[in-house]
Chain A
Amino acid sequence: MEGVMRRSSIALLVGALAIVASLAVGPVASAKPQRAQGGTVVFIHDQEPPNLQGPWVGNNLYATALVTNNIWYGCQIYNDKADFVPRLCVDKPKIVKEKPLTIQFEYKKEAVWSDGKPVTWKDFWATWQVFINPKNNVVSRTGWEDIKSVSRVGTNDKKVQVVFKTQFADWESVVSTGPYAEHIIRGKDMNQMFLNDIPVSSGPWKFQSWQKGVQITVVKNNAFKAYKPMQLDRVVFRYILDTNARFQALKAGEGQVMEPQPQLQIADFLKDKNFVVDQKVGYAWEHIDIQFGPKGHPALKQPYIRQALITGINRPQVAAALYKDIAPGLPALQSHMFKPFEKDYRPNWKVYPFSQKKVIEILKSHGCTGGPDKPTPNNQNIFSCPGVGKLSFRFVTTAGNQLRALTFEIIQRQLKSVGIELVPRFGTGGFVFGTVLPSGDWDLFMFTWVGGPTSNITAKDFYGCGGDQNYMNYCNRKLTNILNKVAVTLSADERAKLLNEAEAKYMVKDVPSIPMYARPIYVIHSVKVKGPVVNPTQEGSPWNVSDWVA
């Protein structure tokens, strides 16, 4: 008996040692650098795509676009300056007739699918059909449903003619879309397609494998001749959810490229000579919407109070403080229509420089009482204004977003010292966006619009009377008329003129929404990898993957 016990305990011990040993041997066996044979780049990302469907309800994620943009390659893509450059197309698409709006473009002879079939007008036609089929759960049909017909020009299968039913101003985005392969999707239920893989590719890389929960691997598409082929053999997208682990993994060489959210950890990489950090201001802009509807605070219906609010927030300081180490000199955003790097950007909101003294002046001149006489850091006295009550506003934003929380704290403090109170009402994204925002039962709401180079074309949805995303219940007829006109104006210069005029003339006076700052975006890459640069559009940094060298 004793012998048995001892033997079994020895066996246990040996077993334990074996496991410990195997754990310890692991490092020796595999600790060699992962810089693989012939050019692999490991791209670390935070979110794993749920599937590869792309602009579908339940997907529509940047994480998916990063993988699929270079598979469904476009007639044109956005370069790092957010200008369209031809890729599968011979040249830029052209307007051949204005009424009805008729566009022609031509795919290159070299534009072929990875299985050898050519890319033709039929592919674009099939793509159009996918987007307008009511059975398909696509996220947006805008533009696609404005198309009247898609046909080839003469007998040239490569040359496509698209006729629109309306003067759809954003036609270029639509025709530049990377088409689906008609021969792959023919007769298929698109809601069930591309859940786990994509069998063909018209772009620089093609899908190879997906180890769920860990990584997606794409490899060079050898059939791709329409533009510079990829020099790398493959790109591996590795998914690491935890923010800190993601940065640490990059630092430890477990990956070479990453597009981090603006986080202070980037500062650490700015100083590190083993890494290159590229940054630009992006299209996502943080703003505070003001509620005009019946459920909002009555005070907010007074223009002078909205003007006091924007005057009392030190917007340049918020941007500067939050991004001091990672984007020094990030300016406050002075336009809802354009971003500071765009040529049509006009600082329309500059007419409201920060002045706490002026806030108190404005409020007092309208008969408000009970507030401080001069800006006071630890002020507890809140103004009450005639007929609209105490200036205490419900401030809604998403919980769990540290930058927003910090922004709120700064703003809250700034306004409190001039006698305006903000009461935080934080909630989960699902709750605040799904329930609170559409209900109009809030006073101030801070969130981000993620836009693109042409999203201002549909500014009417944000600021027009009854606009789809006008949750502020803001309505100015004259403004709405101009914005409606913008949506059907084909010339970009003409649109820019109208937008800037509308903003300067009406919106700045009405203050329906306070622009805060456009979020900077980043690419960090190891010095061992050359080529990645920030692309501010949905193309993401792999837009120029052909230039990447490892």
Chain B
Amino acid sequence: MTERPASDTVPSDRDEAARANAAQARAATMAPGEVGAPDLELVYETGVEIKARSQWAYARMRFLRHRLAVASLVVLVILGLVAIFAPEIAPYSYDAIDLDNLNQSPTLSGWHLFGTDQLGRDYLSRVIFGLQTSLWVAFVVALLSTAFGTALGAVAGYYGGWIDNLLMRFTDLILTLPGLAVLLTAARFFGQGDVNVDLGPLSFVMPQPLVIGIILAFLFWTGIARIVRGLFLSLREKEFVEAARAAGAGDLRIIVRHMLPNTVGPIVVNATLVVASAILVEAALSFLGFGIQPPKAAIGSLIADGQQQGIQTWWLVTFPGLVIVIICLAINFVGDGLRDALDPTQRRTRA
């Protein structure tokens, strides 16, 4: 096998899915590859060295020097708080129908700053609640894909041999599939409503945004799995792992206590970028009619509904679109800053 420098992920589309992959590609380049892999000098944005350990203070310092990242973090925190406290902050409820006030353009009267939609609902509130849903879905995606990808990558990298081979072939299987198309297929058939999970004693209703989140996570775990696997392959040869093994530590303990902490940097950076990509892909799903279904609002479905109304009601399309751009921009900057902070060897290449 060759190790390629980047983009193990196969974009199915230059559209949103490709963004996802682009983000992953950037993160994926952080994998140093196997020891002695031919591309060591190409680890340009990355080149993770293990010495980052116990250097959190330095990392924080480096991050704070990246002013754009800090500013973006502030923006993200504010937007995050707005989303979390949506019911308190939003001037109206997201489903407060006002049939006397349909399709108002943005106005100060009644504080409809983003106007109202086709049912007279305050659009600012809709966007805030939509933001809540979108961010929630994106976090679910980041969490699930990171957890699964890390576990799979760690096992593959730690044990190597046929286990590694098997797991990586499985990853290849997922990568061979055209990502966005598979997502659409899955979302079309499982993600159009709440799903009743019936497992005998354990039965519950899974809300639709969660279903979409799980389906999306399916696209995103491969990147992190490869990164973690690469890191583990090189880590398992290190002295401190040998030492731990000699001291009689079990596999699980070595993986969790000794090796995982050394891979936190790349994992965090990757997870950050996944959040941005997930927002974009979820928006694309919604645009194609396969995303979050009403009455729940997500940023993407707001644009999709808004565009059905045409340019007359320009605010329905413009504002949520801008919110997406701002969030994704901020997340990417923060990811950039994090990479610089957690990965000192490649600082000089940063923008």
Contacts and interface: CB of A to CB of B under 8 A. Distances in A.
Given A264-B103, A410-B97, A405 B308 contact: no
Contacts, number: 79
Interface stretch (A172-180, A358-366, A423-431): A423-431
Interface stretch (B34-42, B70-78, B189-197, B327-335): B189-197
Nearest to B290: A400
A265 interface: yes
B205 to A, nearest CB: 9
A399 B293 contact: yes
A409 B95 contact: yes
Contacts of A268: 310-312
Nearest to B307: A244
B309 A408 contact: no
Contact of A425 (B119, B193, B305): B193
Interface in B24-52: none
A399 B285 CA distance: 14
A243 interface: yes
B119 A410 contact: yes
B309 A265 contact: yes
Interface in B154-212: 188-189, 192-194
A219 interface: no
Closest 6 CB pairs between A and B?
A265-B310, A405-B294, A264-B309, A399-B192, A321-B99, A400-B289
B192 A428 contact: yes
B192 A431 contact: yes
A274 to B, nearest CB: 15
B313 A427 contact: no
16 contacts: A248-B311, A263-B309, A264-B103, A264-B310, A265-B309, A265-B310, A268-B310, A325-B103, A400-B290, A400-B293, A406-B118, A408-B294, A409-B97, A409-B119, A409-B295, A428-B189
**How extensive is the interface on chain A, given as a class?**
20 to 34
B79 interface: no
Given A264-B313, A428-B189, 16 more contacts: A248-B311, A264-B103, A264-B312, A265-B309, A321-B102, A325-B103, A378-B93, A399-B193, A399-B293, A400-B289, A402-B305, A405-B294, A406-B119, A413-B95, A425-B193, A426-B192
Contacts of A405: 293-295
Nearest to A414: B97
A47 interface: no
Interface of A: 243-244, 247-248, 263-265, 267-268, 317, 320-322, 324-325, 378, 399-400, 402, 405-406, 408-410, 412-413, 424-428, 431
Interface of B: 93, 95, 97, 99, 102-103, 118-119, 188-189, 192-194, 289-290, 293-295, 305, 307-313
Contacts of B192: 399-400, 426-428, 431
Which residue among A243, A265, A427 has the maximum number of chain B CB atoms within 10 Å of its CB?
Answer: A265
Given A243-B308, A268-B312, A324 B102 contact: yes
Contacts of A425: 193-194
Nearest to B309: A264
A64 B305 CA distance: 28
B193 A413 contact: no
A413 B94 CA distance: 12
A426 B293 contact: yes
Contacts of A399: 192-193, 293
Which residue among A248, A320, A408, A426 has the maximum number of chain B CB atoms within 10 Å of its CB?
Answer: A426
Contacts of B118: 264, 322, 406
A408 B95 CA distance: 12
A110 B307 CA distance: 50
A241 B313 CA distance: 21
B347 to A, nearest CB: 30
Contact of B310 (A244, A402, A412, A427): A244
Contacts of B307: 243-244
Contacts of A267: 312
